[in-house]
């Protein structure tokens, strides 16, 4: 009998070695190696002989396929996908366990079926009756929706062949296995092999496939870096465990823009689209008139979003003052503090500084700088910021306010939500005419403070 050879595979990035390693030379993670069976057969003997049906062609002679997209009927989801699911594409939806991946895909299945499409929902983690229970709760019902509790890839493929569905959902990629290799389900080798095989099915049968992938605690899709470059589209499902809203974010898309986000609210009967997200994020704002809070207009993909920034500055009890940032980049906050100290003489060397984005959303763009700076300044001076003013602008190292992208969309959004003034960089050119909102253009941080901050009352 042939000796079973084993190999060690980094579960984070898929790097393989013959012997155990403590640290992965590829991705640098520690203790990530797991012994797997080296299956030489699957790597060599089983490779299908490929017929060369697409020989090299002159660019000018190539006929274009028209991209066919399936609409999910859920506009937030469609937008993140770049306008619906492209026929014959493989989409990965990644997210923490319990975030709502099964929920949104079951709802999506229901919507597609309403449009007369046939959907095969492979439930590798839950029994058919568990899925049925969820479907009842979400009021999903259709005779075009097939639930298939199965973990074996070969059987799944056979049923795709038989049923010829328009869309296949695999819930989840970590729970299925192929009999062609011996490693256990969820290992990097299995995930990679299954994903590859599903990709071939998608392309050869022109069926769209969505696979669900759980994210490990390190924030990677388990075995996952491996998957990200294999699939056509990667969509991340994010959210705060303690909040009801969820964000779909496209992080890779061969068929669309990657900076789009879709916002949903999780409730008893499933996920509902949030049509006006700024309203959601500003819900608590009107009741909290405190020094150190400002409203910025951030831009997620092509969509502007109003969010509240809060800063708290106080004398430190520690030898070295603390700087804590939630929802914004700490490095960015440190830079803003340095500029405030140097350019307007704000002394923060004995002060702790906390900066928070309300609602738990991440704001990573530099256009938030000015809002953060003004939150800090109003907190230090103990004044309440004018509640009717929104702020956008990036701060440069010399204290200059730099232009931001999508300025007109941002102004529009602020106006739509009833803001009467907006502070923007002087460097931004505005073509559109705006009525009912005063536009305050500023060149430097000091000017932004003197012209922009209109204290409405001393706190």
Ligand X SMILES: Nc1ncnc2c1ncn2[C@@H]1O[C@H](COP(=O)(O)OP(=O)(O)O)[C@@H](O)[C@H]1O
Nearest to 439 by CA among 400, 406, 390: 390
Q: Which of 8, 9, 24, 339 binds Zn ion (CB under 5 A)?
A: 24
- Contacting positions for Mg ion (CB under 5 A): 102
* 103 binding partner (options Zn ion, Mg ion, ligand X, none; Cβ < 5 to 8 Å by kind): ligand X
Q: Is 221 in the site for Zn ion (CB under 5 A)?
A: no
- Residue 277 in tokens: 């997200």
**Which residue, among 287, 292, 284, 446, has the nearest Cα to 354 in the 3D structure?**
292
If contact means CB under 5 to 8 A according to the sort of partner, which of ligand X, Zn ion, Mg ion, none does residue 10 touch? Zn ion
Closest CB to ligand X among 14 and 224? 224
Q: What are phi and psi of 188, to 5 degrees?
A: -55, -45
The full length of the chain comes to 459
User: Does an H or E element contain 95, and which?
Assistant: strand 90-95
Using the minimum distance from each CB to Zn ion, give the nearer residue, 34 or 404. Answer: 34
In 3-state terms, what secondary structure has residue 339?
helix
**Contact partner at residue 271 from Zn ion, ligand X, Mg ion, none, CB < 5 to 8 Å by partner kind:** none
Shortest CB 94 distance to ligand X, Å: 10
With CB under 5 to 8 Å by kind, the binding choice for 24 among Mg ion, Zn ion, ligand X, none is Zn ion
Closest contact distance (angstroms) between CB of 5 and Zn ion is 21
Closest to ligand X by CB, 244 or 316: 244
- Other CB atoms within 10 Å distance of the CB of residue 401: 26
Closer to Mg ion by CB, 34 or 170: give it: 170
Cβ pair 166, 146 in contact under 8 A? no
Beta-ladder partners of 91 = 210, 233
Binding site for ligand X (CB under 6 A): 95, 97-103, 137, 266, 268
Could you tell me the sign of the dihedral formed by the alpha carbons of 266, 272, 278, 282, in that order?
A: negative
Query: Residue 7 or residue 443: which is nearer to Zn ion going by CB?
Result: 7
Beta carbon of residue 216, minimum distance to ligand X (angstroms, whole number): 14
Q: How many helices (H) and strands (E) does the chain have?
A: 12, 23
- Residue (of 99, 358, 107, 97) closest to 248 by Cα position: 99
Contact yes or no for 282/306 (Cβ under 8 A): yes
Closer to ligand X at the Cβ: 266 or 456?
A: 266
Shortest distance, CB of residue 105 to Mg ion, whole angstroms? 9
For residue 366, is the peptide bond before it cis, meaning its omega torsion is within 30 degrees of 0?
Answer: no
> From the list Zn ion, ligand X, Mg ion, none, which binds 97 (C-beta under 5 to 8 Å, kind-based)?
ligand X
Among residues 9 and 211, whose Cβ is nearest to ligand X?
Answer: 211
Minimum CB–partner distance for residue 7 and Zn ion (Å): 14
In the complex with Mg ion, which residue's Cβ is closer, 102 or 253?
102
Dihedral pair phi/psi, residue 27, rounded to 5°? -110, -5
Q: Which of 8, 9, 12, 111 binds Zn ion (CB under 5 A)?
A: 12
Name the region of 318 (left: φ>0; alpha: ψ -120 to 50; beta: rest): beta
For Zn ion, the binding residue among 16, 17, 21, 27 (CB under 5 A) is 27
- Side-chain-side CA neighbours of residue 147 (13 Å): 21
Choose from Mg ion, ligand X, Zn ion, none: what does 100 bind? Cβ within 5-8 Å by kind: ligand X
CB of 209: closest distance to ligand X in angstroms? 17
Chain residues in the site for Zn ion (CB under 5 A): 10, 12-13, 15, 24, 26-27
């Amino acid at each position: 009998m042939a000796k079973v050879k084993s190999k060690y595979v980094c579960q984070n990035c898929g790097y393989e070695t013959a012997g155990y390693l403590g640290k992965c030379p590829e991705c640098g993670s520690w203790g990530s190696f797991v012994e797997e069976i080296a299956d030489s057969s699957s790597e060599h003997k089983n490779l299908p002989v490929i017929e060369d049906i697409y020989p090299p062609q002159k660019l000018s002679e190539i006929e274009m396929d028209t991209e066919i997209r399936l609409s999910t009927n859920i506009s937030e989801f469609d937008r993140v996908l770049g306008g619906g699911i492209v026929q014959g594409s493989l989409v990965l939806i990644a997210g923490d366990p319990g975030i709502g991946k099964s929920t949104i895909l079951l709802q999506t299945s229901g919507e597609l079926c309403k449009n007369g499409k046939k959907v095969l929902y492979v439930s590798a983690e839950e029994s058919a009756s568990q899925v049925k229970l969820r479907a009842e709760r979400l009021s999903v019902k259709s005779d075009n929706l097939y639930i298939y509790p199965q973990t074996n890839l070969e059987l799944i493929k056979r049923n795709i062949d038989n049923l010829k569905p328009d869309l296949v959902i695999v819930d989840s990629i970590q729970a299925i296995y192929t009999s062609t290799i011996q490693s256990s389900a969820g290992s990097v080798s299995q995930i990679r092999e299954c994903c590859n095989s599903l990709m071939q099915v998608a392309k050869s049968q022109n069926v769209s496939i969505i696979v669900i992938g759980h994210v490990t605690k390190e924030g990677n899709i388990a075995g996952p870096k491996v998957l990200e470059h294999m699939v056509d589209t990667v969509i991340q499902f994010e959210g705060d465990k303690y909040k009801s809203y969820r964000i779909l974010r496209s992080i890779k898309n061969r068929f669309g823009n990657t900076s789009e986000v879709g916002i949903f609210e999780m409730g008893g009967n499933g996920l509902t689209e949030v049509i006006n997200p700024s309203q959601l994020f500003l819900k608590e704002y009107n009741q909290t008139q405190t020094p150190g809070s400002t409203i910025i207009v951030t831009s997620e993909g092509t969509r502007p979003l109003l969010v509240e920034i809060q800063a708290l500055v106080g004398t430190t009890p520690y030898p070295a003052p603390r700087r804590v940032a939630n929802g914004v980049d700490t490095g960015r906050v440190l830079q803003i503090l340095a500029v405030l100290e140097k350019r307007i003489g704000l002394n923060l060397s004995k002060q702790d500084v906390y900066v928070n984005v309300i609602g738990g959303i991440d704001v990573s763009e530099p256009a938030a700088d000015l809002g953060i700076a003004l939150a800090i300044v109003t907190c230090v001076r103990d004044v309440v910021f004018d509640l009717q003013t929104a702020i956008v602008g990036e701060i440069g190292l010399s204290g200059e306010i730099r232009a931001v992208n999508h300025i007109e969309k941002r102004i529009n959004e602020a106006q739509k939500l009833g803001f009467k003034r907006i502070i923007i960089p002087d460097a931004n050119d505005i073509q559109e005419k705006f009525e009912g909102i005063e536009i305050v253009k500023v060149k430097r941080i000091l000017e932004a403070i003197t012209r922009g901050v209109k204290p409405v009352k001393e706190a």
